[in-house]
Copies of this chain bind each other. A is one copy, B any other.
Amino acid sequence: MFHAKIKSETLKGIVEVVSTLVDEAKFNIDANGFNLKAVDPAHVAMIEMEVEKNAFEEYAADETELGIDLDKIKEVLRLARSGDIIEMEQDEEKNRLIIRVGNITRRMNLVDITGMSDPRVPNLTFPAKVEVSSDELQKGIRAAEVISDHIALNAGPDGFEMYTEGDTDSVSLRLPKDLLISLDCIEDVRSLFPLDYFSNMVRSIPAGSGVSINLGTDYPVKLEFEIADQRGNVDYLLAPRIESD
């Protein structure tokens, strides 16, 4: 059983994050909220999301799993104006989700979740952690994407750098320690990542919020950030691109 009401902005934020990786997702729901784990089709990135029930305006649920086509939720969100409340109700008999916005009722088939098992989250230890505003990351990405399709994330005791090199040009966004929210790094680390994955994820982070970047050398990156007005959090893991010499 699942029956809840949520602000359209909050639902939009959740869907934007998940849909950077997958078109369909299995939401694991219980009485306290929901969680979700998803891996992109190329197995390059993974997302782990937890949202508490108090991110919702109203919430009533038993343990259940809902397979949801995220594009359909986006269609409904386009009908909502800022401030609108979205009502969602599971129709267990017909295996449907009923969504209401104002006078509009949308009934959608749920996605078959047979075989949509939750991915295993790898055990990782990161030597460096940088906390930075998502706006700075956005700036670095915009500068990088005209140069190349990958981006290096470098950290050291003095600060954090996003660096990209192309055939003729290079671009760097350097954030010294005092422009970071926090920095926990005792030796230099550096890893290279596919720019499109990194960019899509960073763009889904709420504007103006802080992001923790966990880094190593030739090692995955883990981004941690909050959604749903601090009532939800996301871990995003991205595999590195190993540089050949």
Interface of A with B (CB < 8 Å)?
A: 72, 75, 78-79, 102-109, 136, 139-140, 142-143, 146, 168-175, 179
B169 touches A103 (CB 8 A): no
Q: Which residues of B contact A143 (CB under 8 A)?
A: 79, 104, 106
Q: Which residues of B contact A107 (CB under 8 A)?
A: 169-171
Find the B residue at minimum CB distance from A109. B168
B75 touches A146 (CB 8 A): yes
Q: Which residues of B contact A169 (CB under 8 A)?
A: 72, 106-109
**Chain copies in the assembled complex:** 3
Q: How far is A75 from B108 in the complex, measured between Cα atoms in Å?
A: 43
Find the B residue at minimum CB distance from A140. B104
Q: How far is A142 from B72 in the complex, measured between Cα atoms in Å?
A: 13
B173 touches A104 (CB 8 A): yes
Contact of A108 among B79, B136, B168 (CB under 8 A): B168
Q: How far is A170 from B96 in the complex, measured between Cα atoms in Å?
A: 11
Show 29 residue pairs from A and B whose CB-CB distance is below 8 angstroms, ordered by the A residue.
A72-B169, A75-B146, A78-B142, A79-B142, A79-B143, A102-B139, A103-B136, A103-B139, A103-B173, A103-B174, A103-B175, A103-B179, A104-B139, A104-B140, A104-B143, A104-B171, A104-B172, A104-B173, A105-B171, A105-B173, A105-B174, A106-B143, A106-B170, A106-B171, A107-B169, A107-B170, A108-B168, A108-B169, A109-B169
State how many angstroms separate the Cβ of A116 from the closest Cβ of chain B: 18
Q: How far is A30 from B143 in the complex, measured between Cα atoms in Å?
A: 30
Q: How far is A146 from B106 in the complex, measured between Cα atoms in Å?
A: 11
Find the B residue at minimum CB distance from A171. B106
Find the B residue at minimum CB distance from A179. B103
Given A103-B136, A103-B175, 16 extra CB contacts under 8 A? A72-B169, A75-B146, A78-B142, A79-B139, A79-B142, A79-B143, A102-B139, A103-B139, A103-B179, A104-B139, A104-B171, A105-B173, A105-B174, A107-B169, A107-B171, A108-B169
Q: Which residues of B contact A106 (CB under 8 A)?
A: 143, 169-171
Q: How far is A116 from B117 in the complex, measured between Cα atoms in Å?
A: 63
Q: How far is A108 from B165 in the complex, measured between Cα atoms in Å?
A: 10
